[in-house]
């Protein structure tokens, strides 16, 4: 479950009284739009298309318009209302627009709270040079704040990070006051990712600054009952599911997650990802090689994991060069159960692709028993494999799978 943009993002931030740009929907009258423009110090409004689910990089695609008057705003509405956009490997269509308050600012702040694969807990990433892809910034311009999740992000965490970054002093106090609210939002409403980019520093007539959120991306664990506290209508999270995604979603239960996204139908690595950290790391590292993005964690029972594997192999095994099972060191997931389910399913579907290779990187309860079972199955099937234990780097395993896939592609091309 994901949302982007301020149409619903403003309501989300209002839950913790975090300042956010004013937003009007597409049904706003000319008078309301005119008032929004007049209230802006820059006398402008920002018009954006509304996409269901999480759709990013709209600005780079030319789908964000800054308008000076009602006529320009209505023209932008006409152009963007049903705009089409490529998100990943899917074409998506907008259904509506927002008219948003334009906040002039000399600085843009980027803040992200998500689970770190390195620290195995939520962390906050912050920079005072936001408004861009954070990956493009050098490490010297951003800081990762590691904190105790039981006590949360405190003001001194923010203060120390901003001073270390060399953030202008006049911005530090307002940010220290407001940014800890984001942890309250993340922790209390079932979020897995919360990203604000940009937060603009709005200056009032007395010269005081207020951080104002101007765009948001949020991702939720829909199996977490805390999400229900939001009271948001289900349709705002609706997306067009592929046949594979729809089939997997039928297996959704609270015990064991079954989140999947079809990334690249022409990919060649079929990953079974366990945990949000593995999902993030694998999706980024494997790039277009990954056929799907998944999170099958949460200690799924054998029957559910077997059904997931059956559906996955039925749809994708024939084209895969590498099957990848990846996750961190689990705390409560029975590794034997999940590996047994996957390899039992592979026994039934291996006829679709006898030449596939298997890479496993896992740690946790009963991992040796699970790998021993997998070894016996794969030896009997004559399927090549490589297993990595809990002391192996997850990124190292992912790079190994990627290099193996490239090598196999080269061998196929030589034949």
> What is the per-residue pLDDT across 319-344, written as a single tens digit (0 to 9) for each?
999 999 998 887 778 899 999 999 99
pLDDT at 210 over 70: yes
Distance of alpha carbon 54 from alpha carbon 1, whole angstroms: 8
Number of neighbouring beta carbons within 10 Å of residue 210: 16
Domains of the chain and any CATH numbers: 21-101 (3.30.1490.20), 108-234 (3.30.470.20), 241-414 (3.40.50.261)
Distance of alpha carbon 269 from alpha carbon 403, whole angstroms: 11
C-alpha 193 chain-centroid distance: 6
Q: Which stretch of 80-84, 148-152, 190-194 has the lowest confidence by average pLDDT?
A: 80-84
Distance of alpha carbon 293 from alpha carbon 145, whole angstroms: 27
- Structure tokens given for 88: 């990943």
Helices (H), 93-225: 155-165, 169-178, 180-188
Q: How many helices (H) and strands (E) does the chain have?
A: 12, 19
Distance of alpha carbon 125 from alpha carbon 194, whole angstroms: 10
Distance of alpha carbon 413 from alpha carbon 48, whole angstroms: 45
Average pLDDT, the chain: 87
In this predicted structure, what is the pLDDT of residue 60?
65
- Flag whether the pTM goes above 0.75: no
| DSSP symbol at 393 | -
In this predicted structure, what is the pLDDT of residue 252?
58
In this predicted structure, what is the pLDDT of residue 284?
82
> What is the per-residue pLDDT across 3-48, written as a single tens digit (0 to 9) for each?
888 888 999 999 999 999 999 988 899 999 999 999 988 899 999 9
Confidence grade of residue 254 (pLDDT, cut at 50, 70, 90): very low
Helices (H), 265-393: 276-286, 302-316, 335-349, 367-381
Distance of alpha carbon 342 from alpha carbon 374, whole angstroms: 9
Q: 15: alpha, beta or left, given left = phi > 0 and alpha = psi -120 to 50?
A: alpha
* Distance set, CA 238 to CA 6, 279, 324 (Å): 17, 21, 29
Checking DSSP bridges between strand 108-116 and strand 191-203, what pairing results, if any? Answer: antiparallel
pLDDT at 62 over 60: yes
> What is the per-residue pLDDT across 154-187, written as a single tens digit (0 to 9) for each?
999 999 999 999 999 999 999 999 999 999 999 9
Q: Of residues 278 and 264, which shows the higher confidence score?
A: 264
In this predicted structure, what is the pLDDT of residue 261?
78
In this predicted structure, what is the pLDDT of residue 5?
85
- Structure tokens given for 124: 């906050």
Confidence grade of residue 59 (pLDDT, cut at 50, 70, 90): low
* Distance set, CA 56 to CA 24, 33, 61, 120, 215 (Å): 20, 25, 10, 26, 10
In this predicted structure, what is the pLDDT of residue 256?
45
Distance of alpha carbon 211 from alpha carbon 126, whole angstroms: 14
Residues with Cβ within 8 Å of 323's Cβ and at least 6 positions away in sequence, in order, are: 270, 272, 317, 346, 356, 357, 358, 359
Q: 127: alpha, beta or left, given left = phi > 0 and alpha = psi -120 to 50?
A: beta
């Amino acid at each position: 479950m994901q949302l982007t943009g301020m149409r619903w993002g403003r309501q989300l931030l209002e839950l913790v009284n975090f300042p956010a740009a004013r937003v009007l929907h597409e049904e706003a009258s000319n008078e309301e739009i005119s008032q929004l423009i007049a209230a802006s110090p820059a006398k402008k409004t920002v018009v954006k298309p509304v996409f269901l689910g999480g759709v990013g990089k709209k600005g780079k695609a030319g789908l964000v318009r800054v308008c000076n008057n009602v006529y320009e705003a209505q023209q932008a509405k006409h152009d963007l209302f049903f705009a089409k956009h490529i998100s990943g490997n899917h074409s998506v269509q907008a259904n509506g627009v927002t008219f948003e308050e334009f906040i002039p600012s000399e600085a843009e702040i980027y803040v992200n709270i998500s689970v770190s694969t390195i620290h195995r807990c939520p962390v906050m990433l912050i920079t005072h040079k936001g408004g861009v892809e954070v990956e493009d910034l050098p490490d010297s311009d951003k800081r990762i704040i590691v904190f105790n999740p039981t006590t949360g992000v405190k003001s001194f965490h923010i203060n120390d990070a901003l001073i270390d970054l060399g953030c202008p002093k006049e911005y530090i106090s307002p940010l220290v006051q407001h940014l800890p609210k984001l942890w309250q939002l993340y922790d209390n409403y079932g979020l897995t990712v919360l990203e604000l980019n940009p937060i603009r520093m709005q200056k009032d007539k007395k010269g005081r600054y207020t951080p104002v959120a101007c765009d948001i991306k949020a991702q939720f664990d829909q199996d977490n009952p805390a999400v229900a506290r939001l009271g948001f209508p289900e349709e705002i999270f609706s997306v067009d599911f592929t046949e594979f995604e729809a089939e997997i979603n039928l297996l959704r239960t609270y015990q064991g997650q079954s989140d999947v996204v079809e990334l690249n139908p022409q990919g060649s690595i079929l990953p079974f990802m366990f945990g949000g950290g593995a999902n993030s790391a694998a999706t980024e590292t494997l790039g277009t090689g990954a056929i799907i993005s998944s999170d099958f964690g949460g200690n799924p029972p054998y029957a559910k994991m077997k059904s997931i594997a059956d559906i996955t192999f039925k749809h994708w095994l024939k084209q895969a060069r590498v099957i990848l099972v990846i996750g961190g060191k689990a705390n409560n997931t029975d590794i034997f159960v999940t590996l047994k389910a996957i390899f039992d399913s592979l026994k039934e579907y291996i006829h679709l692709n006898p030449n596939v290779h298997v890479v496993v990187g896992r740690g946790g309860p009963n991992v040796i028993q699970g790998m021993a079972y997998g070894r016996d199955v794969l030896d009997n099937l004559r399927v090549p494999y490589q297993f990595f234990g809990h002391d192996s780097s997850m990124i190292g395993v992912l790079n190994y799978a990627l290099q193996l896939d490239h090598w196999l592609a080269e061998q196929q091309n030589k034949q």
